Amino acid sequence: MKPLCQVGTASCGACCGLYNRDELSRPAVHALLVRRTRALAAAPRTEEGFRAAAASLRDAGATPLFPSVRVCPLLGYLDEAEARVGCLAHPLVTGGPDLRDCGAYDARICGSFFCPSHSWLSEDEADLVADVCGGNPYLYGLVVTDVPFLRAALGGVAELTGARVERRHLDAPPFRLALARLLALKEELAPGSDGLFGAFRAGADGEPLPRAIDYGALGREGASPYDALLATVGADPRSGNDLEALEAEVRSRLEACAAALDPDFIIRELDTC
Ligand code: SF4
Ligand code: SF4
């Protein structure tokens, strides 16, 4: 199974409850992680010490968006640069004792859980998202857990250029930047948007439910040419996002990717004007 949780400079804390809070802006999540990291650095590395620290941190947490999904107070920053999130109770972090039993689950569950992205993402997709979002754990966690969004984003670029996006394309800094900006759509959605947690909506068979925009209800005759991506980010009033505004953003970010990847793209676009 391909690694996703900690790979290269990329790290994820989604299943430890990182985004399960009513205030989930990047600054709010960062502040929470800093508070936890400092508190646990000062706590004795014993069961008693970590249980006491976890209890005080739990009380200070925000209201969960999904009450049935646990939020673990032992998730924090692993490095001084605050560029990597991870489990502060893991033996590799404590330097000895495994203190994960003091968190929201227990060491056995923590060590054996792999989210569905582990089986859905291809090696290439996993490498690509880790490479683009590495060093930005807030964005990486949102993207790596949302396979339909990632595929729609990469598919949208491929549709414009006629070529599949590959990891080697990231060697070109302008394309890397443009793709990072496209994926950053996930950070900019309205709170509560379908697009934020789409990957968490599973059908009875455990597979993700398709997301769809009701264009008729919005007074639009046909689907947007960017429907695949718009549907995954919840470009629909029910999600709190404005379809027209999001469509313009999607178009501009996809075209920036295409132009950075394929210099002939701009010439072809001009020819069709
Ligand atoms: S949500 Fe998935 S990728 Fe993220 S830490 Fe959990 S198992 Fe790993
Ligand atoms: S104890 Fe488990 S749930 Fe808590 S941060 Fe560590 S791995 Fe995540």
- Per-residue pLDDT reduced to its tens digit, 24-38: 888 999 999 999 999
Ligand 2 nearest atom to the CA of residue 74, by list position: 5
pLDDT-derived band at 217 (thresholds 50, 70, 90) equals: confident
More confident residue, 212 or 60: 212
CA torsion through residues 26, 121, 233, 207, sign: negative
Q: Is the per-residue pLDDT at 45 higher than 80?
A: yes
Is there an atom of ligand 2 within 6 Å of 54 CB? no
Instruction: Tell how far the Cα of 146 is from the centroid of ligand 1, in angstroms.
Output: 11
- The H or E element spanning position 10 is strand 10-11
115-165 pLDDT, tens digit per residue, is 999 999 999 999 999 999 999 999 999 999 999 899 999 999 999 999 999
Phi, psi of 138 (to 5 degrees): -65, -45
Is there an atom of ligand 2 within 6 Å of 120 CB? no
Identity of the highest mean pLDDT range in 153-162, 186-195, 262-271: 153-162
Is there an atom of ligand 1 within 6 Å of 89 CB? no
Averaged pLDDT of the chain: 88
User: Do the beta carbons of residue 126 and residue 8 sit within 8 Å?
Assistant: no
88-104 pLDDT, tens digit per residue, is 999 999 999 999 999 99
The region of weakest confidence among 243-247, 249-253, 265-269 is: 265-269
Please give the pLDDT value at position 237.
67
Q: Cα–Cα distance between 22 and 251 in angstroms, integer?
A: 30
Q: Cα–Cα distance between 162 and 157 in angstroms, integer?
A: 8
Please give the pLDDT value at position 112.
95
Instruction: Tell how far the Cα of 262 is from the centroid of ligand 1, in angstroms.
Output: 33
Number of Cβ atoms within 10 Å of the Cβ of 188: 13
Is there an atom of ligand 2 within 6 Å of 74 CB? yes
Q: Is the per-residue pLDDT at 106 higher than 50?
A: yes
Q: Cα–Cα distance between 203 and 167 in angstroms, integer?
A: 32
**Across-strand partners of 86?**
76
Ligand 1 nearest atom to the CA of residue 114, by list position: 7
Please give the pLDDT value at position 194.
64
Task: Indicate which ligand has the atom closest to the C-alpha of 76.
Answer: 2
Q: Is the per-residue pLDDT at 21 higher than 90?
A: no
Instruction: Tell how far the Cα of 165 is from the centroid of ligand 1, in angstroms.
Output: 24
Q: Cα–Cα distance between 236 and 272 in angstroms, integer?
A: 30
pTM (2 d.p.): 0.90
Return the axis-axis angle of helices 137-144 and 123-133, rounded to nearest 10°.
Answer: 160
Instruction: Tell how far the Cα of 15 is from the centroid of ligand 1, in angstroms.
Output: 5
The residue nearest atom 3 of ligand 2, judged by CA position, is 16
Q: Return the HEC string of the chain.
A: CCCCCEECCEECCHHHCCCCCCCCCHHHHHHHHHHHHHHHHHCCCCHHHHHHHHHHHHHCCCCCCCCCCCCCCCEEECCCCCCCEEECCCHHHHCCCCCHHHCCCCHHHHHHCCCCHHHHCCHHHHHHHHHHHCCCHHHHHHHHCCHHHHHHHHHHHHHHHCCCCCHHHHHCHHHHHHHHHHHHHHHCCCCCCCCCCHHHCECCCCCECCCCCCCHHHCCCCCCCCHHHHHHHCCCHHHCCCHHHHHHHHHHHHHHHHHHHCCHHHHHHHHHC
Is there an atom of ligand 2 within 6 Å of 152 CB? no
Please give the pLDDT value at position 234.
80
Is there an atom of ligand 2 within 6 Å of 102 CB? no
Please give the pLDDT value at position 199.
43
Is there an atom of ligand 1 within 6 Å of 5 CB? yes
